A and B are shown apart, each in its own frame.
Chain A
């Protein structure tokens, strides 16, 4: 079983839709949770960061962490064609520099 599971997609939605991206994980030591966005031919860029459980909102993006279910989500409101990219979840345990990544979900927002 992989430490982090993420549906690879592709996920295709019309412009303006609400997008929900999810990851599940098995390691209960994970405390730091991140979402990265990767455009084609680019490296991943940090989008959202959350520590432990709860919600965090930044503009059109909301990150949720449910540690009891070992489940994290990223919501994108009013999705735009420029949101078309691969979204990677990543997480880490306290005191460990290295991140464990999901395989990424490819999102396509149709104009």
Chain B
């Protein structure tokens, strides 16, 4: 299997539930990202991991908790979410070095989350 794989593709959860999103990359990349995509809004960066270390946390509420156990796997743990958290959650990976021609993300297909 190649590329970036996200599971599940769709998730419906109540506001009191706890769930986790999973991302796996088979590209040998060293950096992984979580982005939130809401309708008619730019992609919002949530978290950046480089070599399993969190290097950026973009003022994300504590009800979102990331975990990066190794450079191939990334999780987003969810608890006590709000209806406004409903969105497409995208995982991406990239080479750590920001120099051409390696620059650019490879995205997964996303998890469509609905909070009811």
Contacts and interface: CB of A to CB of B under 8 A. Distances in A.
Given A92-B98, A97-B94, A42 B109 contact: yes
A34 B102 CA distance: 12
Nearest to B45: A98
Interface residues of A, number: 28
Given A43-B4, A99-B105, A88 B33 contact: no
Most chain B CB within a 10 A radius of its CB, from A34, A92, A98, A102: A98
Interface residues of B, number: 28
B96 interface: yes
A2 B40 CA distance: 13
Given A4-B42, A46-B104, A97-B55, A32 B109 contact: no
Interface string A89-111: 00010111111111110000000
A98 B110 CA distance: 18
Given A34-B104, A43-B4, A95-B98, A103 B40 contact: yes
Interface of A: 2, 4, 6, 8, 32, 34, 36, 41-46, 49, 51, 88, 92, 94-104
